[in-house]
Amino acid sequence: MGLFLFLIVSLLLLISVSCIRDNTHSSCTSIFQEDKHQSNGSGIHITLHHVHGPCSPVTLPKLPLKDVLRLDEMRAQALYNRLTKANVTTSSMPKSVDLRPEMVNIPLKPGQSVGVGNYVIKIGLGTPAKYFTVMMDTGSSLSWVQCEPCEISCHPQVDPRFNPSTSSTYEYLTCGTPECSTLEAATLNPPSCTLSNLCIYNSVYGDRSYSVGYLSRDTLTVAPSQTLPGFVYGCGQENDGLFGQSAGIVGLARNKLSLLSQLSSKYGYVFSYCLPTPSSTGTLSIGQSTYNPSIYKFTRMYLDRRDPSLYFLRLASITVAGKALPLSVAVYTSTPMIIDSGTVITRLSSAVYVPLRTAFVKAMAGYKQAQPISILDTCFEGGVQGKHVPEVRLIFEGGSELRLAAQNSVIEVDGVTCLAFAESRGVAIFGNRQQQTFGVVYDVSGSKIGFAAGRCG
């Protein structure tokens, strides 16, 4: 999943790890040297890596496309469940527990979903600061990292686990604190209490990944000499799922416990990113002064009271090969649309997707259609190379638009090229495949979202 904290020193330490992630990159040294977290006191810029990108600091096994799509569908379903308040599970932890293996009752209600199109950054925690590779997610609120003594179980991670006893500013939060009482809004699961009254968070994701541990407070480092005392996050004691070798998650959603919200008093309630492809690096920026509004085109950011932590926008039109789909604006806006960094494939309502599919197939009439692959039902034989893929334009309310190149509108697997859109089951989602290489600004204080082409370095 957007905010963070990173010193080049920590990244240089990773050079000794196998740096050659991609045959097109003979060395990662130059990329690590550029992986600096810059700050001018009013904003910060952080290098953002795709988990499979060149010199990504984590190793996440590349899954077969069908597995990627299956997990992506689980995330989409989890987002839908959040809006409909559907209870997919059911058990919950007792109100008073000891945090021991035999006392923890998982799974809880799936809330956010880690997804499979993940992006990672570095953050610093504690005094003195220790640095960790974490996943960025605009659909998650509570940030957490794995912590010693890891009382139940932890997944492997590239950095040593955080040891709270080494930080002079670390503190546990008790069940009587306001932060503990707001956990349910952040995780969709109520907090629990240990027998000694420590607050326990329960974050369970739509793909069944989860983290359970102590709600904590410590100093966050976001850039050289830029710190946030009293940062509230989770200190994970049982963690399992599709986290790769990351230490945890940083949440950029609109909840008051998210990293963005906690940084907003210092930098402003604004962040932006350029999501990299698996062959490039991108940037995450935090602060009002970190972007130039004149190069972005904006659309209104909406709030949906069914889940106020998510970011919504409204699609107004789609064109294929220069021709607009024969739909009214009301057809597009009848289904709420979430913009999400963790969902890979963009979902559209049936009323929008079917005309898009029809227009795309017509524009690709010179190519033989192939069998559907999982949720992708508009596929063509042969790879993308050499194909004339029609331009797809997404036009949002207010005139902001994205002109999608082939790398954004189609996806290739095993010699088959498929349209990278799917039919939605109740909520439209603007996924990361379509966002890659574009600059995206979330100006929460101004209630607007902006797009600019070619913002990845």
Residue 38, pLDDT score = 54
Main-chain phi, psi angles of 16, to 5 degrees:
-70, -20
Is the model's pLDDT at 275 over the cut of 70? yes
Residue-wise burial string across 30-62, b where 16 or more C-beta atoms lie within 10 A, e elsewhere: ebbeebbbbbeeebbbbbbbbbbbbbbbbbbee
| pLDDT tens profile 288-336 | 878 888 999 999 999 999 899 999 999 999 999 999 999 999 999 999 9
Task: Decide if pLDDT at 169 tops 60.
Answer: yes
Residue 388 has pLDDT above 60, yes or no: yes
Marked catalytic residue, from 137, 207, 218, 443: 137
Q: Taking CA 363 as the corner, what is the angle to CA 357 and CA 368, rounded to the nearest 5 degrees?
A: 85
Model confidence over 324-369: pLDDT tens digits? Answer: 999 999 999 999 999 999 899 999 999 999 999 999 999 999 999 9
CB 138 within 8 A of CB 441: no
Res 101 pLDDT > 70: no
Task: Tell me the pLDDT tens digit for each residue of 197-248.
Answer: 999 999 988 677 889 999 999 999 987 778 999 999 999 999 987 787 889 9
Using one digit for the tens of pLDDT, what is the confidence trace for 130-155? 999 998 999 999 999 999 999 999 98
Residue 310 or residue 41, greater confidence: 310
Residue type, 217: R
* C-alpha to C-alpha distance for 8 and 122, rounded to whole angstroms: 9
Largest CA distance in the chain: 69
**Whole-angstrom Cα distance, residue 372 to residue 363?**
18
Q: Taking Cα atoms as reference points, which of 379, 374, 371, 437 lies closest to residue 407?
A: 437
Q: Which two tokens stand for residue 103?
A: 């006392």
Catalytic residue among 35, 159, 340, 443: 340
Q: DSSP labels for 303-325?
A: --TTSTTS-EE-EEEEEETTEE-
Q: Tell me the pTM.
A: 0.85
Choose between 42 and 357: higher pLDDT. 357
- How far does CA 167 lie from the centroid of its chain? 28
Average pLDDT for residues 417-422, to the nearest whole number? 97
The sign of the CA dihedral 247, 253, 254, 255 is: negative
Question: Is 340 an annotated catalytic residue?
Answer: yes
Secondary structure class of 183 (helix, strand, coil): helix
pLDDT recorded at residue 86: 54
Percent of the chain with pLDDT over 90: 59
Side chain identity at residue 278, one-letter code: P
